[in-house]
C-alpha cells in the first residue's frame, strides 16, 4: 500500500535488515505538518515491519536539541550495524562554521533512541550521507548535494575519513544532484541517487554500477521516473528482504505539499544483465508477505523507559530494569504519589483518532491513573470519573484504555496519579 506510512510525514527512507533480525527497518527524516520549507526538519523516526504492510512507528529517535554541535537542517540519513552497535549517520549544519557536517549517533538497539557522538572528521559539506559496510567489514561513506557526490573509506572507528581515499564521483554520475545510497547485487556495487535531468526539477532516481565501492562507476539509467504526486525531491534506498527486492522513496501523496512528504515502497526487478527495470509508483505498492493483502496499518510503540530521550519526560518517575520481561530498554516505575507520572510524545501528520493501549504490571492490586492528552484529562468510555483502573496483574499485560483525538503535529500524552505498585513497559497507539 502506498503511501507506506500515512500517519506521519517522513522522507529519505533508509531501509535495512540487521543480522539475526527478521524485521525490516526504516530510518527516515521528519517533516513538520503544515510547513512550506525543509528548514524546519529537526528530527528522525524509525519504523519496522515483518510483513511489509503493517508497520511500527518507534517514535522520535534523535532531535536537534540533543546534538550540541549543530544548529539546524537535520536532513537525510542512513544507518548501519557494526560490531554490535547500531549507527545513525545523518547531516546537520554545524553551529561553529555554518557548514553541513555528517553526524554519527549510536544505539544498542535498532529502534534507538540514538546518542550523538559528534561529526565525522575530514568530511566537509557532508549532506545526505550514506554509510555502506562491505562484506569484509570495511566502512565507506558517500555524501552529496547541489550537483556533487563524493565518497571515501572511513577509519575503523567510523569517526574520520581516510584522507587519501576521498574521491569525487560527480563526473561518473550522470545528472547527479544529491542523496546517494549504496547496495550490492551479484557482486556489483549499485549507487542510486536523485538527479536533475538537464538541470530541471523535479528529481528523477538514477543508478550507476561499479566493481569497487569507490568506483569508477558506470551510469546505469533511470529507475524511478517523475510520477504524479511526486514531491520536488525524491530520495530512497534499495534492499532485498525475504527474497524480494524493494525500492523505498517518498512522495507528497498525503499532503499534496512538496515539503510534507510520505514514505513509499515499490517492487524492484533486475534484468538478466543486472540493469534495473523502471518503477512506476502506484497506490497498491507492495503486498503483505504473509497474507497477500495490499492493506496495512501503522502502530505507534513508545518505550516508557526512554521517554525523556524521545520527546517526553519523567515527572518524579524513573527507568528501571529489575523486573524481567520488558520489551525495550527497560520500564518506567516510581508512580508512588498523585503528581508523579511520565509524558510521551506522539507525532501525527493529520488530525486523526487512535486507540491507546498500555503494557504494565501491577502485582500489589488495582491501580487508578489519570490520562491527559495535550492538557485535557480523558475519561473511560461511558464514565463520568476521569480515572482509569488498571487491574492487578502479577506479570506484564496489555490493556486498551481509550480513544485519543490526535492533532496534526506534536501531542503530549501524560500518564500520572499513581499510588504505587505500578510499572509501565510501553504505550501503544493503534489505528482507530
Yes or no: domain 302-431 corresponds to CATH 3.90.1010.10: no
Cross-strand partners of 389: 368
pLDDT digits (tens, 9 = 90+) for 100-130: 999 999 999 999 999 999 999 999 999 999 9
Q: Where are the domains of the chain?
A: 10-295, 302-431
Query: How far are the Cα atoms of 124, 152, 216, 274 from residue 171, in angstroms, in the given order?
Result: 19, 16, 10, 22
Radius of gyration for the chain, computed over Cα atoms and rounded to the nearest angstrom: 22
Contact 61, 45 (CB under 8 A): yes
pLDDT of residue 307: 98
Domains 10-295 and 302-431 share a fold: no
* Tens of each residue's pLDDT in the chain, 432 residues: 999 999 999 999 999 999 999 999 999 999 999 999 999 999 999 999 999 999 999 999 999 999 999 999 999 999 999 999 999 999 999 999 999 999 999 999 999 999 999 999 999 999 999 999 999 999 999 999 999 999 999 999 999 999 999 999 999 999 999 999 999 999 999 999 999 999 999 999 999 999 999 999 999 999 999 999 999 999 999 999 999 999 999 999 999 999 999 999 999 999 999 999 999 999 999 999 999 999 999 999 999 999 999 999 999 999 999 999 999 999 999 999 999 999 999 999 999 999 999 999 999 999 999 999 999 999 998 888 899 999 999 999 999 999 999 999 999 999 999 777 899 999 999 999
Instruction: To the nearest 10°, report the CA torsion of 78, 81, 87, 92.
Output: -20
pLDDT score at 420: 75
Using the Cα atoms of residue 272, residue 274, residue 278 and residue 282 in order, give the sign of their dihedral: positive
CA atoms within 13 A on the CB side of 358: 26
In the block, residue with C-alpha cell 504505587: 420
C-alpha cell at 202: 523535479
pLDDT digits (tens, 9 = 90+) for 353-365: 999 999 999 999 9
d(CA 359, CA 300): 13
Q: Residue 52: left (phi > 0), alpha (psi -120 to 50), or beta?
A: left
- Say if CB 13 and CB 263 are below 8 A apart: yes
Catalytic machinery residues: 12, 178
Q: What is the pLDDT of residue 421?
A: 87
Cα–Cα distance, 125 to 178 (Å, whole number): 12
Strands (E) across 162-242 are located at: 167-168, 181-185, 188-195, 204-210, 218-224, 237-241
What lies within 8 Å, CB to CB, of 45 at 6+ separation is: 8, 10, 27, 28, 30, 57, 58, 59, 60, 61, 347
Give strand pairing partners of 181: 192
Return the CATH class of domain 10-295.
mainly beta
Residue 339 — φ and ψ, nearest 5°?
-85, -10
Instruction: Retrieve residue 248's grid coordinates.
Output: 523505498
The span from the first CA to the last CA of the chain, in angstroms, equals 18
The pTM (predicted TM-score) of the whole model is 0.98
Amino acid at each position: 500500500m502506498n503511501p507506506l506510512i500515512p500517519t506521519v510525514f517522513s522522507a529519505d527512507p533508509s531501509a535495512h535488515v540487521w543480522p539475526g533480525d527478521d524485521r525490516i527497518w526504516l530510518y527516515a527524516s521528519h517533516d513538520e505538518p503544515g510547513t512550506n520549507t525543509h528548514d524546519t526538519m529537526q528530527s528522525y523516526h524509525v519504523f519496522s515491519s515483518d510483513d511489509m504492510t503493517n508497520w511500527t512507528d518507534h517514535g522520535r529517535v534523535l532531535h536537534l536539541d540533543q546534538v550540541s554541535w549543530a544548529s539546524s537542517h537535520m536532513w537525510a540519513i542512513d544507518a548501519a550495524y557494526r560490531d554490535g552497535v547500531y549507527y545513525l549517520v545523518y547531516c546537520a549544519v554545524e553551529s561553529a562554521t555554518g557548514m553541513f557536517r555528517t553526524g554519527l549517533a549510536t544505539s544498542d538497539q535498532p529502534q534507538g533512541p540514538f546518542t550523538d557522538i559528534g561529526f565525522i572528521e575530514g568530511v566537509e559539506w557532508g549532506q545526505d550521507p550514506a554509510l555502506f559496510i562491505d562484506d569484509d567489514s570495511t566502512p565507506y561513506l558517500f555524501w552529496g548535494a547541489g550537483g556533487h557526490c563524493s565518497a571515501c573509506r572511513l577509519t575503523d572507528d567510523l569517526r574520520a575519513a581516510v584522507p587519501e581515499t576521498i574521491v569525487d564521483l560527480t563526473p561518473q554520475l550522470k545528472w547527479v544532484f544529491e542523496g546517494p545510497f549504496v547496495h550490492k547485487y551479484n557482486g556489483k556495487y549499485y549507487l542510486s541517487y536523485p538527479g536533475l535531468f538537464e538541470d530541471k526539477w523535479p528529481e528523477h532516481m538514477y543508478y550507476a554500477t561499479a566493481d569497487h565501492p569507490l568506483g569508477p562507476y558506470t551510469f546505469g539509467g533511470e529507475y524511478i521516473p517523475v510520477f504524479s504526486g511526486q514531491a520536488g525531491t525524491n530520495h530512497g534506498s534499495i534492499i532485498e528482504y525475504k527474497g524480494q527486492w524493494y525500492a523505498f522513496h517518498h512522495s507528497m501523496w498525503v499532503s499534496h505539499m512538496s515539503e510534507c512528504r510520505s514514505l513509499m515502497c515499490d517492487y524492484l526487478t533486475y534484468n538478466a544483465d543486472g540493469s534495473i527495470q523502471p518503477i512506476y509508483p502506484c497506490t497498491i505498492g507492495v503486498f503483505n508477505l504473509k497474507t497477500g493483502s495490499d492493506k496495512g496499518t501503522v502502530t505507534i510503540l513508545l518505550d516508557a523507559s526512554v521517554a525523556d530521550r524521545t520527546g517526553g519526560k519523567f515527572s518524579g518517575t524513573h527507568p528501571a530494569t529489575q523486573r524481567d520481561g520488558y520489551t525495550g530498554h527497560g520500564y518506567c516505575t516510581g508512580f508512588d504519589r498523585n503528581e508523579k507520572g511520565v509524558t510521551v510524545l506522539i507525532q501525527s501528520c493529520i488530525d486523526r483518532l487512535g486507540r491507546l493501549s498500555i503494557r504494565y504490571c501491577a502485582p500489589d492490586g488495582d491501580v487508578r491513573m489519570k490520562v491527559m492528552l495535550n492538557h485535557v484529562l480523558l475519561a473511560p468510555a461511558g464514565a463520568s470519573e476521569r480515572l482509569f483502573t488498571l487491574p492487578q496483574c502479577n506479570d506484564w499485560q496489555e490493556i486498551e484504555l481509550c480513544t485519543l483525538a490526535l492533532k496534526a503535529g506534536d501531542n503530549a500524552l501524560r500518564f500520572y496519579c499513581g499510588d504505587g505498585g505500578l510499572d509501565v513497559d510501553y504505550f501503544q497507539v493503534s489505528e482507530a
